[in-house]
Amino acid sequence: MNIEEIRKDFPILKRKINGKQLIYFDNSATTQKPVQVINAIKNFYETYNANIHRGIHTLSQEASEMYEDAHKKVADFIGANDMQEIIFVRNTTEAINLVMYSYAMENLEKGDEILTTIMEHHSNLVPWQYVEQKKGIKLKIADIKDDGTLDLDQFKQMINEKTKIIAITHISNVLGTINDIKKIRKMKKDAILLVDGAQSVPHMLVNVKKMNCDFLIFSAHKMLGPTGIGVLYGKKELLEKMKPFLYGGDMISKVEQHKSTFAILPWKFEAGTSNIVGGIGLATAIDYLNKIGMQNVRDHEKELVKYFLEKLEDRNTIIYGPKDPEIKGGCISFNIKGFNYHDIASLLDKSGIAIRSGHHCAQPLLKRLGTTGTCRASFYIYNTKEEIDKFFDILNKIRG
């Protein structure tokens, strides 16, 4: 990876904040966009803009083909069988809600169980709380060990014949913990396995066949793509049995006055006018990542994490989650004794450094860790060791 050449593709990195060169370490929240993605979006609106699946004129046909090709590109990227297993939604949260409404609410009965973990983002917890309240199922939440890794022994003990859904994050957005999905899959093969890949798909090789997950969800904006579009992968045999999540235009095959039949996959789950340009932007982002190589992306982040952690070690600094880069994604959460996490983020911002502070949409986990929030630095393909050095020049002055 030629990081300096990569950085030239990201216009926002030239910006100055408070007179200082921007250092962007908030990539777990959203990533910046390369000119290739920006230009693809601009080019669509200037050259191809039309609604899809609704016209025989040239623009509509071209737009439809580009949008369908985007589904194919996503399918190839994660190792799915074909584009029929790829549903475009607004974001990760909507993808989980689709599974919750169209699968869990339709198939689970009182007494059934859903197993998740304490390290989940709210988007992979709150929907299951709703199922618990409405259907009378039991929601079970597995704990973590002191090092921030999942307690797999406890997790396995919590699985029984009543476990119908296992919903788990691939990489924690707070701890950076990488969960062993293959090992979890083997614990109960007949349970539906939903994997939150929001923090993994952008950062490492992910193959749905090798994981043998039933559903995988992720968002475009965390992998160089635009906001407003996410992905639900689902095994075809499951998706075909599920009822639509939204009803109306473009998800139908035939409509009569009192009944309708629905379109084939994936369109059955994509009602109304889609985020066409979002899909095209995501496809362009995948092209960009494929050119770099996902193994190179992962190796670069491991190197940055190792370098950052070595500098972060200090008697006044609390580090949350694993410290081994081999089992940790590209985010690091920490607190400095005697300082509020928001104050640290504010002081860093004065020097042009963007990090995240707060509960990171994971309040149960933060409570388990004994804090109300943390600072979080998270990296991506355009970050460098030189930026980390500048970060610690400022942080060391703060922590004394």
Q: Are 349 and 17 in contact (CB under 8 A)?
A: yes
Q: From the candidates 213, 331, 361, 375, give the one annotated as an active-site residue.
A: 361
Q: Residue 252 forms beta bridges with which residues?
A: 262
Residue type, 348: L
Provide the Cα torsion 225, 227, 228, 233; round to 10°.
Answer: 40
Contact 219, 211 (CB under 8 A): no
CB 142 within 8 A of CB 150: yes
Is residue 166 within 8 Å of residue 191, measured between CB atoms?
A: yes
With beta carbons less than 8 A apart as the criterion, state whether 103 and 242 touch.
Answer: yes
Q: How many Å apart are CA 137 and CA 228, to the nearest integer?
A: 32
- Residues 6+ away with beta carbon under 8 Å from 183: 152
CA pair distance 109, 19, nearest whole angstrom: 59
Are the CB atoms for 318 and 335 separated by under 8 Å? yes
- Read off the tokens for 338: 């005697």
Gap between the Cα atoms of 118 and 213, Å rounded? 20
Tokens of 77: 């990227």
| Six-digit token string for 67 | 């949008």
Tokens for 95, please give them: 């993808």
Look-up of token digits 């973590």:
144
Query: Parallel, antiparallel, or unpaired: how do β-strands 356-358 and 374-378 relate?
Result: antiparallel
* H/E run at residue 354: strand 353-354
Kindly compute the dihedral angle of the four CA atoms of residues 267, 268, 269, 271, in this order, to the nearest 10 degrees: 80
Q: Is 361 known to be catalytic?
A: yes
| Cα 167–Cα 170–Cα 176 angle in degrees, nearest 5 | 125
Active site positions, annotated:
361
